[in-house]
Amino acid sequence: MLRGFFNGIKDLIYPNLCLTCKNRIVPAKGQNLVCAQCWEKIEKNLPPFCASCGRRLDKLSLAKNICSNCLKFKFHFDRAFSPCTYTGIIKKLIHEFKYSGKDYLGEPLGDLMNKFIKDYRLPIEYIDFIIPIPLHKSRMREREFNQAQILSEQIAKEFNTKILPDALVRTRPTRTQTELAFEERRKNVEKSFTVNDVRSIKDANLLLIDDVLTTGATSSEAARVLKDSGARIIFVMTLAN
């Protein structure tokens, strides 16, 4: 991971600068990657949550317990959760995490997910296995690590849950989803996953992990393949939505 190595050297030469605002961080106990002011500005995803995608419900959707988008589309996962809203500080941090080789951000970002699980008492004890959304091998070569696996490792360590990092495989490269509409995203990821070991997930309750849930197309397609292979309940957790 040469890119990560050189980024680490750079960060040692220029220490104590906030990754988001670039201001000097006053030395403090604990992590010193993001200043306290920026950390407090991370926009949290707050209840009431949509019973499908996990986004905060607006007033018009409260009685239905599901958001207007999820009324239109049926996802293959049972429910999704996210501790943050994909905007501002957290968006910058995820970008640094994924595209700038800062794999060490996985620990503080994973802590946000762990805190959410504890605060909202998510049923992590009923999860048999954690499965990170895989990258295609060509993108893995490009990035040198899978951010979903790093987040999965943080959750698995906190709750003593086993990861199945190779259970799900991305069989073909897909276009970047960023600029695509929902239907384009759905077609883009269609038939892009396969299950590597059907026996390991049969009748299992699974927690799928990714960094961001936007339309939910990627997580839904992964869940479809896993359920077709015998998985029972599938929850999705992302850092932001």
Q: What is the pLDDT of residues 74-83, one digit of tens each?
A: 899 999 999 9
Q: What is the pTM of this model?
A: 0.87
Is the torsion defined by CA of 144, 92, 190, 234 positive or negative?
positive
Kindly tell me if the per-residue pLDDT of 29 is higher than 50: no
Tokens 């996962």, located at residue:
77
DSSP E strand stretches across 37-104: 79-81
State how far the alpha carbon of 113 is from the alpha carbons of 45, 121, 154, 214, 236, in Å: 11, 12, 9, 17, 12
- The average pLDDT across 162-167 equals 95
Question: Tens digits of per-residue pLDDT, 84-135?
Answer: 999 999 999 999 998 888 899 999 999 999 999 999 999 999 999 999 999 9
| Mean pLDDT computed over every residue of the chain | 87
- All structural domains of the chain: 2-240 (3.40.50.2020)
Which of 33 and 176 is assigned the larger pLDDT? 33
